[in-house]
Structure 1
């Protein structure tokens, strides 16, 4: 039931049917009220300067935008880095230090999938998950961080930071519930919009390719993978942040008579302990120098 609802909502926002477009139009008054409320929230927020360089990478709409590989690409260029995120889908609450400079301190159940990706991909960085970003920033400072990357924090208007927004192609620009936008790009707030294939490029490496692969993935809007996919026996989609069970993955291998499961890194960190045959679709990002220049200008102010 939950899986069907998640995919129905994704369809409503990103590839709506005629009936869903009609529903979206009917919901416009609620969207105007919601958006006005978010604007008031923005205007009444007072920025706190934490005395540390803070860079936020986010997107305005619900659903995936590929933030994680972009944050990774940027964070790799700096020393004394801490990545902070909420940790959606984790089985824990409160502030958790996922990784210090030297080692990973918890499992993926505690950290959530995206935080564990950072823990693996950023060997020298610290990683913290917390619903309260301000508390996490103070913890990062205490641990010796000199620059913090916030995963998806445009809406945290009370934090002084440099904001980057990933442009997501979507026809309906309305706020929730009529459209997919959680917030607008307010004119009074400086933020830099990043466009794919202009400001950054996605790179894909297929590791451990086999003759017969079954795609298994739990990312938002999984159709985004289509342009990168090799030939697969089947496509098996689960809701974003889904916690896999070994038995259901074994059943897919048996049903398809496949050699391996083809997964993204976000899936890999959750299923590697199952010791099943895996092919990895490893997505990374090459960021243009102008993004680093913007970060360096901000840091040198």
Structure 2
């Protein structure tokens, strides 16, 4: 049964969930529920829709941008998929990663591995790791997946939409793809349409025009996504540089555990890789020994001589003995320069809330 079937079943409950989210929003806006103000600027990168919109590559991009510009950013995440129940988890103190993906979640671990010098902290009550990050010397915070996390005030609220899926069916969960009613977008300062390319640019332009009409004064930026490298990961987790030519003539078994596996398939097309087979796993998939060996067996059955996955999957495959070489694709966000300026302006001086 596909997602639309379950959305049809959940549609009668959508008004109730939508009402609950609106009441929750009003409680925060009216001060019934407390929203913590921090000493440093906070930039939130979030969604209105369920599923992936390319938040992690954009968080990486903004963290590197802020570093290059002389700031000391830190990343605050809930740590979805991690086993920890601790109130504050220091995934990285800016040096080497300190906690494993199974404990704190795949995305925080990936950010810790790929952003040297940037502290990464997680916790369900995000004001606590946020306060800790400030104590550690951070002068700007990136709140990963923060649009619905109203318990922390933010100076810049970025809401991302996938250029392929946009607003989905425009219905609120459990009858559709939206986490909140569309009216919640009035809280946003700016929108980013991620994964824009030649195949979806016409729809992205139309959606941008709609956002300008419905939410005037809020800029809309396009952000592409491109593969910038390839690595081979060995058993102890070390990553060895590889070239796209290393896959020439090879039969790859491609797999991923991300919200939108079709985005990885598009990446493979960009790399001119035609996999021997492709396996889509659930988002934040927890790799266990038996399941990993089943993947290897499926690859061998398909006649593959190597494995190929996303960087997010790589961080969870450390320590497994694999009979086939394991490669990962390194992606990078490429937003319009106006978004960079907006983020740097925010880091330099707090921005006013949208009218």
Q: In the aligned structure 2, how far is the partner of 1:274 from the partner of 1:26? A: 40
Report which structure shows greater RCO (CA 8 Å, sep ≥6): 1
Structure 1 unaligned blocks of 5 or more: 1-7
Count of residue pairs brought into register by the alignment: 284
Question: 1:170-214 CA deviation, whole Å, 9 max, x = no partner?
Answer: 441111111111113426523311113352110114624431100
Q: Indicate which of 226, 233, 257 corresponds to 1:218.
A: 257
SS of 1:271's partner is coil
Matched, 1:263 2:309: yes
Partner of 1:54: 42
Q: In the aligned structure 2, how far is the partner of 1:273 from the partner of 1:282? A: 20
Q: Indicate which of 104, 110, 117 corresponds to 2:97.
A: 104
Partner of 2:188: 190
Matched, 1:80 2:68: no
Q: In the aligned structure 1, how far is the partner of 2:188 from the partner of 2:45? A: 13
Matched, 1:234 2:234: no
Partner of 2:345: 297
Taking only aligned residues, the RMSD between alpha carbons, in angstroms, comes to 1.9
Question: 1:85-118 CA deviation, whole Å, 9 max, x = no partner?
Answer: 1111112222210100222112222221101110
1:1-301 maps to which residues of 2 (within 5 A)? Answer: 8=1, 11-12=2-3, 16=4, 20=5, 24=7, 27-45=10-28, 46=31, 47-78=35-66, 79-94=71-86, 95-161=88-154, 162-168=156-162, 169-185=166-182, 186=184, 188-196=186-194, 197=196, 198-205=221-228, 207=230, 208=242, 209-210=246-247, 211-229=250-268, 230-244=273-287, 245=289, 246-274=292-320, 276=322, 277-299=325-347, 300-301=349-350
The list of structure 1 runs, each at least 4 consecutive aligned residues, that deviate by more than 6 angstroms after superposition, is: none
CA contact (8 A) 1:53 1:146 kept: yes
Q: In the aligned structure 2, how far is the partner of 1:217 from the partner of 1:266? A: 8
Q: In the aligned structure 1, how far is the partner of 2:142 from the partner of 2:168? A: 29
Structure 2 unaligned blocks of 5 or more: 197-220, 231-241, 351-355
Partner of 1:5: none
